[in-house]
Amino acid sequence: MAARLTDRPGRRSEPKVVARVTFGPGHGSRPAPNVGPVSTTSTRPARRTIRQFVPPQHGAWAMLLLPYLAGLLVAGFRWPDLPLLCAWLAGYLLSYYVFLAVKSRRPGRYLPQFRLYGLVAVPAGAIVLAAEPRLLWFAPVYAVLLAVNAWYAWRRRERALLNDLASVAQSCLVIGVVTVIAGGRPADTWAASVLVLLYLTGTVLHVKTMIRERGSRTYRTASVGYHLAALAAVTVISIPAALVFALLTVRAWVLPGRSLTPKRVGFVEIGASVLVLAAVALVGRPPFAI
């Protein structure tokens, strides 16, 4: 929206605001009487704040929520699952900015994020551990996987395949955490863990073929080959899971090479996550225990 000052000859010159509404290229503009200039400066600080505290990693939310929801479906809900969700999400946000600080070598820049997410993650995590101390057995595994993330952040190679797979492993461990909270063993829900692990690993490969490795024959071959192997593996678990992974294999074969924006790729993966969650729900408890 633009404003201009006009003077008419023969009359007293008075500043006059004329607002124009622009509809985009090719649509021209028309006067908008009685509408003054609208300032967008009030919305900019809010947007800047959101960008400052929320990572632009849209695909990460599916990776965070899918294992948590899968664990609830197969193991059941207990009250510590609520603080667990708070600790899990806040912990991810905290780790994101910690690794940014490691990468940039400027930790002071991210002190507000450290304070905000640390004040949520630490108390919530303490509540969960107080309710179920057995969860401390997961700590060494998470420590190793986070060390992998930190090393790649220090080397400024956080997009490396191994780094992504370490993040996938961290997410899938949440199924075991939810199972222990419910009073069971991680081995009791191995089928859900396998399905989610296979899906998220395949997603890492597929998304790379769509964005960062677009046009790479090597990555596309690896992605399709992996999905075929995953399809063969899940047929042992259940027919519904095999049908879902058959669709995932088709998407890994058909979509690379097409001009899809990252946003559309994300929408496809959201739909795929829902299908995988449905397959987990149909499987429920595994057909045999380990």
pLDDT, tens digit, 9 for 90 and up, residues 99-111: 999 999 998 899 9
Q: Is the pLDDT of residue 55 over 90?
A: no
Structure-model confidence comparison of residues 5 and 231, the more confident one:
231
**Any idea what the Cα angle at residue 94 is, between residues 276 and 199, rounded to 5°?**
15
Q: What are the φ and ψ backbone dihedral angles of 30, each rounded to 5 degrees?
A: -140, 150
* pLDDT at 48 > cutoff 80: no
Average pLDDT score over the chain: 84
The band of 1, judged by pLDDT with boundaries at 50, 70 and 90, is very low
Q: Is the predicted pLDDT of residue 29 greater than 90, yes or no?
A: no
Can you tell me the distance from the alpha carbon of 245 to that of 195, in angstroms, rounded to the nearest whole number? 9
pLDDT digits (tens, 9 = 90+) for 183-237: 999 999 999 999 999 999 999 999 999 988 888 999 999 999 999 999 999 999 9
Phi-psi region of 183 (alpha: psi -120 to 50; beta: other; left: phi over 0): left
Kindly report, residue by residue over 105-148, the tens digit of the pLDDT. 998 899 999 999 999 999 999 999 999 999 999 999 999 999 99
Q: 281: exposed, middle or buried (C-beta count within 10 Å: 0-12, 13-18, 19+)?
A: middle
Measured CA distances, 32 to 2, 24, 39 (Å) = 11, 15, 16
Whole-angstrom Cα distance, residue 285 to residue 259? 40
DSSP code string of 10-51:
TS------EEEEE-STTT-EEE-TT-PPPP-TTHHHHHHHHH
d(CA 13, CA 240): 77
Please check the confidence at residue 92 and state whether its pLDDT lies above 90: yes
**Which neighbouring-strand residues pair with 19?**
3
User: Does residue 28 carry a pLDDT above 60?
Assistant: no
Nearest to 38 by CA among 23, 24, 17: 17
What percentage of the chain carries pLDDT values higher than 90? Answer: 67
Longest dimension (CA), the chain: 94
Summarize the chain as % helix, strand, coil (round to 5): 70, 5, 25
Confidence of residue 41 (pLDDT cuts 50, 70, 90): low
What is the C-alpha separation between 269 and 276, in angstroms, rounded? Answer: 10
Q: Examine the pLDDT at 155 and tell me if it is beyond 80.
A: yes
Percentage of the chain beyond pLDDT 70 is 79
* pLDDT interval class at 53 (50, 70, 90): confident
Quote the CA–CA distance of 79 and 95 in Å, as a whole number: 25
Give the per-residue pLDDT at 51: 72
Condensed to tens digits (0 to 9), the pLDDT of residues 236-263 reads 999 999 999 999 999 999 999 888 888 8
Which residues on adjacent β-strands are paired with residue 30? 21
